């Protein structure tokens, strides 16, 4: 996972700058990101369901193969007559990849934890994973500035292709009896039938599984409010990632290497705060780190918009990094507690698809606001929207007084019996 995402972290923070270097205006760049956000909507839920059916490791391997094709399209795009078409094609393959890999990895981590320590386990995994954000953007910015974007594409693509070969090898090993099938602990022998396929319990079809998640989504319980809060944060995040690199280069007058250095510094701050925030979520409830994280998103947007200079931008990136550490373990922990284990992979995919439906318009709107008013307006709008999410976090995400000592999460408003799932019985070393 680290090797694969290292290539992406070298490339994606500079994608808006790369598109502008190809001659596209800001409105077109915003439209590109909007079209790219629509593509995953058709795949995320199906990818999560496939993960529940065939197992986490195999799903990750299949997704990586699709991602390898997408990286090939990225590498050749600058030399083609219509580079935007090739980049959109790569986003389509990347959508398949994210739909298979993302939900599978989150569900895999949840299955290696217990109900009481789930936020901390997610925090530890994410903290280790932050090596991607710490090293990738500085390295990518240095290569883009000192060499060229074409060299950056080849290096990032090479890292992903290497990771794909490892993932496929792990999936083949699991197929021969080791690894993780759906519902089978990692590292254990998988029971197999006469045909050699893993023996699994009865799995619900796609339609019934989707209907069960839809009921949870509209029931007014925990999962409903997770969608609302994370939807607001996703719109804010889409505004940020689509235009912040351009804002720093055109308005802040920073070079690619300095932008990459700041992104790496933000990842370092996230890693440093991740484990304490996971502990806080497990011991005091997910409500407090979530509220803090949402408030810090607003603070970082204001600093980016109104302050200038490398030191001010570094402070804003530090605040933004800590906000990610507050939000990620808490949200992942809540989702894994709100959904039965048999639907966990599909739930993470459903969450991503729903959030994508909320935020797909954000980049196009941000591009119009940038050109129609002033460049900082998309950042301010995203920060203001995130601030509104503080209200449901503080009001809704509360546990009863007797259950506030790291016990299973209960929602005060209209709890749904199907929301709670049994704790995972085994705890294994992290991958």
Which tens digit of pLDDT belongs to each residue from 48-77? 777 777 777 888 888 889 889 989 999 998
- pLDDT 10s digits, 276-333: 888 888 788 778 888 888 889 889 888 988 888 889 999 999 999 898 888 888 887 7
Stretch 238-248: mean pLDDT, rounded? 81
Per-residue model confidence (pLDDT) at position 421? 32
Alpha-carbon distance 303 to 379, whole Å? 10
Alpha-carbon distance 250 to 248, whole Å? 6
Alpha-carbon distance 327 to 153, whole Å? 31
Is pLDDT of 418 > 60?
Answer: no
Is pLDDT of 12 > 80?
Answer: yes
Is pLDDT of 7 > 70?
Answer: yes
Alpha-carbon distance 1 to 22, whole Å? 30
Of the candidates 326, 427, 408, the one whose C-alpha atom is nearest the C-alpha of residue 110 is: 427
Query: Please, which residues have CB within 8 angstroms of residue 214's CB and are 6 or more apart in sequence?
Result: none
Of the candidates 17, 178, 49, 39, the one whose C-alpha atom is nearest the C-alpha of residue 95 is: 39
| Complete domains list, the chain, with CATH | 2-179+191-403+410-419 (1.20.1250.20)
Say how many Å lie between the first and final Cα of the chain, rounded. Answer: 10
Of the candidates 348, 292, 269, the one whose C-alpha atom is nearest the C-alpha of residue 51 is: 348
Task: Give how far Cα 274 sits from Cα of 68, 191, 298, 321, 323, Å.
Answer: 30, 36, 19, 9, 10
Helix orientation angle between 56-76 and 44-54, rounded to the nearest 10 degrees: 140
Per-residue model confidence (pLDDT) at position 354? 58
Is pLDDT of 369 > 90?
Answer: no
Q: Could you tell me the pTM of the whole model?
A: 0.65
Is pLDDT of 200 > 60?
Answer: no
Helix locations, 55-82, DSSP H = 56-76
Q: Pick the more confident residue, 268 or 336.
A: 268
Query: Please, which residues have CB within 8 angstroms of residue 133's CB and are 6 or more apart in sequence?
Result: 9, 263, 264, 266, 267, 270, 271
What confidence tier does 395 reach under pLDDT thresholds 50, 70, 90? confident
Alpha-carbon distance 92 to 94, whole Å? 5
Of the candidates 46, 29, 73, the one whose C-alpha atom is nearest the C-alpha of residue 349 is: 46
What confidence tier does 42 reach under pLDDT thresholds 50, 70, 90? low
SS3 192: strand
CB 315 within 8 A of CB 368: no
Length of the chain: 431
Query: Please, which residues have CB within 8 angstroms of residue 160's CB and are 6 or more apart in sequence?
Result: 3, 4, 7, 8, 64, 67, 68, 71
What confidence tier does 204 reach under pLDDT thresholds 50, 70, 90? low
Tell me the two tokens of residue 348: 């993470």
Task: Give how far Cα 394 sits from Cα of 43, 229, 286, 295, 374, Å.
Answer: 33, 11, 10, 11, 33
SS3 220: coil
Of the candidates 319, 229, 265, 311, the one whose C-alpha atom is nearest the C-alpha of residue 13 is: 265
Q: Is 285 left (phi over 0), alpha (psi -120 to 50) or beta?
A: left
Of the candidates 381, 299, 393, 285, the one whose C-alpha atom is nearest the C-alpha of residue 329 is: 285
Average pLDDT, whole number, for the chain?
76
């Amino acid at each position: 996972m680290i090797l694969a995402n290292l290539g992406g972290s070298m490339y994606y923070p500079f994608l808006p700058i790369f598109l502008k270097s190809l001659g596209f205006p800001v409105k077109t760049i915003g439209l590109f990101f909007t079209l790219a956000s629509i593509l995953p909507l058709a795949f995320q839920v199906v990818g999560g369901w496939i993960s529940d059916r065939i197992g986490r490791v195999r799903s990750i391997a299949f997704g990586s193969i699709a991602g390898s094709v997408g990286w090939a399209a990225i590498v050749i795009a600058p030399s083609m007559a219509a580079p935007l078409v090739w980049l959109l094609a790569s986003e389509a393959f990347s959508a398949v990849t994210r739909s298979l890999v993302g939900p599978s990895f989150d569900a895999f981590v949840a299955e290696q934890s217990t109900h009481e320590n789930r936020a901390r386990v997610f925090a530890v995994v994410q903290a280790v994973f932050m090596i991607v954000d710490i090293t990738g953007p500085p390295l990518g910015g240095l290569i883009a500035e000192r060499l060229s974007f074409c060299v950056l594409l080849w290096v990032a693509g090479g890292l992903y292709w290497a990771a794909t070969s490892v993932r496929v090898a792990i999936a083949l090993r699991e197929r021969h009896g080791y690894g993780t099938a759906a519902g089978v602990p990692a590292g254990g022998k998988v029971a197999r039938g006469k045909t050699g396929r893993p023996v699994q319990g009865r799995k619900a079809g796609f339609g019934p599984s989707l209907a069960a998640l839809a009921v949870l989504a509209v029931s007014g319980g925990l999962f409903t409010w997770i969608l609302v809060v994370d939807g607001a944060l996703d719109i804010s995040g889409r505004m940020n990632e689509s235009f912040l690199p351009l804002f720093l280069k055109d308005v802040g007058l920073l070079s690619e290497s300095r932008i990459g250095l700041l992104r790496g510094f933000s990842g370092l701050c996230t890693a440093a705060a991740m484990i304490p925030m996971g502990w806080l979520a497990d011991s005091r409830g997910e409500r407090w780190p979530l509220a803090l994280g949402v408030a810090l998103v607003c603070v970082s947007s204001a600093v980016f918009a109104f302050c200038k200079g490398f030191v001010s931008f570094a402070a804003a990136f530090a605040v933004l990094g800590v906000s990610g550490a507050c939000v990620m373990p808490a949200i992942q922990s809540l989702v894994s507690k709100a959904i039965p284990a048999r639907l966990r992979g599909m739930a993470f995919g459903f969450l991503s698809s729903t959030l994508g439906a909320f935020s797909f318009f954000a980049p196009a709107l941000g591009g119009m606001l940038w050109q129609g008013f002033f460049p900082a307006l998309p950042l301010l709008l995203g920060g203001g929207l995130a601030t509104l999410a503080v209200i449901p976090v503080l009001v809704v995400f509360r546990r009863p007084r007797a259950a506030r000592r790291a016990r299973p999460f209960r929602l005060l408003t209209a709890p749904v019996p199907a929301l709670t799932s049994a704790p995972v019985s085994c705890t294994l070393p992290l991958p």
